[in-house]
Amino acid sequence: MTGSGTRTDVPTDVPSGDASDRCPYCGRPLRSEHLLALHVGEAHPGHTDREAAAYAEAREAEDEELFVYHMKVIGAIVLLFFAVSYTYVFVLV
């Protein structure tokens, strides 16, 4: 990945009074500690051991969420395939 650092230059707007986590390096507001750990791990190389551990944990959690999402998409595709096949074989033929 090319880490030019321009991804952190995106203008952001946080409503006043909204409790959000801010990046200690660039001040970017992020919605959760999970997103903060991912941002620090990917946008600011050379982080501390604590931040590296938080990044690894957040990355693993994100991988698990992505795996579950993929399983749901595959299940929906298989269900759609059998629904179309059933309709074609038993209703239209």
Write out the residues near Zn ion by the rule CB under 5 A: 8, 23, 25-26, 28, 43
Which amino acid appears at position 35 of this protein? L
What is the full DSSP assignment across 31-65? SSHHHHHHHHHHHS-S--HHHHHHHHHHHHHHHHH
For residues 12 and 85, which CB has a smaller minimum distance to Zn ion in the complex?
Answer: 12
For residues 25 and 62, which CB has a smaller minimum distance to Zn ion in the complex?
Answer: 25
For residues 23 and 52, which CB has a smaller minimum distance to Zn ion in the complex?
Answer: 23
How far apart are CB 39 and Zn ion at their closest, in Å?
A: 5
